Structure 1
Amino acid sequence: MRHEDMQLKWENMRAGIDAQVDLLAQAPRALHTEVATLLDGPAPSRLYTVGCGDSYFCGLAAEMAIESWTRQPMEALESLEFSRYAIRTAPEGSLVVAVSNSGEVARTVESLRFAGERGLRTVGITYNPESRLASAAQHVLKYDYRDVGFGPGTMSYLASVLSLLAVGLRVAELGGGLDAAGVEAELSAIEGLAPVLAETIAAAEEPAAALAATLTEDTKVFFLGGGPNYGTALFAMAKMIESARHNTVSQQLEEWAHEQYFCTVPGTVTVVHAPEGHSVDRAREQLRAVRDMKGTAVAVCAADDEETKALADVVFPVPAGVPEHLSPLLYCVASELISYHFALANEKVMLGFDDAWRKEVNFRQIFRSVIPETVPGLPAAP
């Protein structure tokens, strides 16, 4: 679908939220099989994921899983940060994986072009294999999903995360971080979350509608997350902006205490992603502080985590036992439904695209931005 032909229908977003269950059940193994045909040895010296908006956030969401499988650090970077800065020092043998649903985001396309000039290996992940991104990439991983029409990305985000996880599993195979049995175990674990995702959506419906009904355009809304769910918090912010043009703020779990805490007052809504894992203790402290400042504390946490639930005014329960490195696949649901219900109840037009000029300027900034011939001082390919 061309961007110019988009139809702004809220049923599209709702259908996309629900269709994620089938996507999670069906896509992981097919994506990994495809990646295995694209990438052969040697293992990359460093893995970069790049993108803008959701396509950047998905790299942050996948980072913990990929590092645990490959046993090496990776970098999830916003496209400009890679194409104009990090590319200068990227080591030889690096693999640059660029994500763009449309395949036409200028900064992400240039990331692959400049990476190619450096002699780095590149993979483009996209829904559009005829795009500029696909043309710029050495290898193209096309993800697929049932197109339900334009809306704030839900399936596209999940498909992007799953695609990066598939790349991470393949890199782990090449580098010896996982053997065939280990890859199979991880794929089975990811696929096995599909019915859990269905439970998560069903459980989130009522609290999302109720919380959304309390929000106004002037309500301060903060989304917090640490580790892989910092990406989830950024994604949550994006859904509120895209669906309802609400000036929501995302923040890293720790940094909230150093910044947005001071803006927390009665009426402020703070959503804390608190999965079972390395930072649930800090998430509980932040929830307690929100309440101390008379704000509304919202927890997205395991359904059996009574300690965390007791610290929240609103709870979005996620079935227990989800490993933290895979939690972004489920913990994104709360914000999807909050933003959907808020926009629907307030009769918002997604992205403000009832304003033709706003839409025109947006497309100019993202899709028609000038891509320079090269970056000054870019090291030559070996």
Structure 2
Amino acid sequence: MQEYRDMMTEIEKQGSLGPVLKQIETAVAGTCREIMEKGKNKKIFFLGCGDSYFAGLAVKDYFLEKTDSLCFPMTALEFSTYGIRQVDKESTVIAVSMSGNVARTVEAVKEAQERGAYVVGITNSLTGRLYEVCSHPVFLGLEEEPGWTPGTLTYTGTLYALYCLGAGLSRESERDGCKRKLAFTMEQVSRVVTQCQDMARQAGENFVYNGHQFPVYILGAGQSFATAKYGAAKFLEVCGVIAIGQESEEFAHQEFWVIDKNCPVFLVAPKGDSFQRTMEVGECLRHFGCDLFVISNSEELCGMGKYAFGMPEEVEELYAPLLYAVPMQLTAYYFSRKLGLDPDRRSHNDPFRKKVSRMLTRGTVNLD
């Protein structure tokens, strides 16, 4: 089998971002001071598409707990068509686009700036439109591989920038603690990538997928719902299979009615406020006959999984999104290889699909 490396290289790079993290911290620190000094922190809107949207969703609870701001994660389209009505001069809008060329995101930034909001643009491109039009751009400076790889390194970089913003905007009494816990969590990334490799390879190479009638389900609650949505996107992009990221409780009321026994189900469940309910759902699904892929720092829950990814005990639920995406990145990579696909190319070398993707996301659709 051909040895693919671009996606794996980016996964591994997530654990060695030291100088880049310092660069991001420096860029964000001045932005936070200015937001506070200008009183622009009453409402904070997060906007983006795909992974960029999931990242904002993942940090919502962190901002709600650590800052005095109202927080609204939205897709770029929802923001520019509906959320924009709630934006005022006391608002900060945080827009995310790695390429900087997602049309809906750029449109939303322009509208927010016209309303007097403080607009932060997080991007990994100095030549993209977001960096050009945004009044306060934050360049991540991540070294991506040349292939059109699924977002892994960029997702972690985006999350880190958002957590830095949250720490910088936090209550003064909590700020130092926020920064310490964030630094500690990032120190665990390399260990998580290494420790999850063997289990992910085993899970991916023995993955039982029953076809489009029975999707891959990924469940989580709170900030882990965002991680579940992100994980589903990796299976869609990398493996070409139907995958659904759902909130643990909502799954019990919706998708359960069509699930098949032996269907692969991921449980993203750090110990915390929503842990008990996700564990109860897992117990029911195991009884039903589903294969469970558990990502947790609970030994009890990990013991329920056909495949279990034990996560660092000391990392709090609020910071879990920085680590808990890694097992799904790795499993999707190895499953893609098993299927004979190219995990380094989201289009799997289908130029027509890539062309239409650009039409959908980069500008006005023109079918001529």
The TM-score with structure 2 as length reference comes to: 0.91
- For residues 274-299 of structure 1, what are the alpha-carbon distances to aligned partners after superposition, in whole Å with 9 as ceiling and x for unaligned? 10110110111111111121111221
Partner letter of residue 18 of structure 1?
A: E
CA pair 29-178 structure 1, distance change in 2 beyond 3 A: farther
- In 2, Cα distance between equivalents of 1:154 and 1:45: 31
Partner letter of residue 334 of structure 1?
A: P
**Structure 2 gap ranges (5+):** none
Where do residues 224-243 of structure 1 align in structure 2 (5 Å cutoff)?
Answer: 224-243=219-238
Partner of 1:158: 156
Q: Any conservation in 2 of the 1:96–1:120 contact (CA below 8 Å)?
A: yes
Partner letter of residue 219 of structure 2?
A: L
State which of 13, 17, 20 in structure 2 corresponds to 1:19.
Answer: 13
Q: Any conservation in 2 of the 1:212–1:341 contact (CA below 8 Å)?
A: yes
Q: Any conservation in 1 of the 2:209–2:264 contact (CA below 8 Å)?
A: no
Where do residues 110-259 of structure 1 align in structure 2 (5 Å cutoff)?
Answer: 110-150=107-147, 151-172=149-170, 177-179=171-173, 182-213=174-205, 214-216=207-209, 218=211, 220-259=215-254
Partner of 1:377: none
**1:325 paired to 2:318:** yes
Paired residue secondary structure (2:72): strand
Paired residue secondary structure (2:99): coil
Q: Over the residues paired in the alignment, what is the CA RMSD in angstroms?
A: 1.8
Partner of 1:57: 54
**1:280 paired to 2:268:** no
Paired residue secondary structure (1:77): strand
Where do residues 52-131 of structure 1 align in structure 2 (5 Å cutoff)?
Answer: 52-131=49-128
Residue 364 of structure 1: CA displacement? 0.7
Q: Any conservation in 2 of the 1:55–1:100 contact (CA below 8 Å)?
A: yes
Partner letter of residue 20 of structure 1?
A: Q
Residue 353 of structure 1: CA displacement? 4.2
CA pair 216-310 structure 1, distance change in 2 beyond 3 A: closer
Paired residue secondary structure (1:163): helix
Partner of 2:301: 308
Partner letter of residue 129 of structure 1?
A: L
Deviating above 6 A after TM superposition, structure 1's stretches of 4 or more consecutive aligned residues are none
- In 1, Cα distance between equivalents of 2:67 and 2:49: 24
Paired residue total: 353
The percent of aligned pairs where both chains have the same amino acid is 27
**Structure 1 gap ranges (5+):** 1-8, 371-382
CA pair 68-162 structure 1, distance change in 2 beyond 3 A: same
- For residues 205-260 of structure 1, what are the alpha-carbon distances to aligned partners after superposition, in whole Å with 9 as ceiling and x for unaligned? 22212222223361531001111111101110111111121111110121111111
Partner letter of residue 271 of structure 2?
A: E
- In 1, Cα distance between equivalents of 2:210 and 2:141: 35
CA pair 95-127 structure 1, distance change in 2 beyond 3 A: same
Q: Any conservation in 1 of the 2:42–2:70 contact (CA below 8 Å)?
A: no
Q: Any conservation in 2 of the 1:32–1:169 contact (CA below 8 Å)?
A: no
Partner letter of residue 326 of structure 2?
A: V
Partner of 1:34: 27
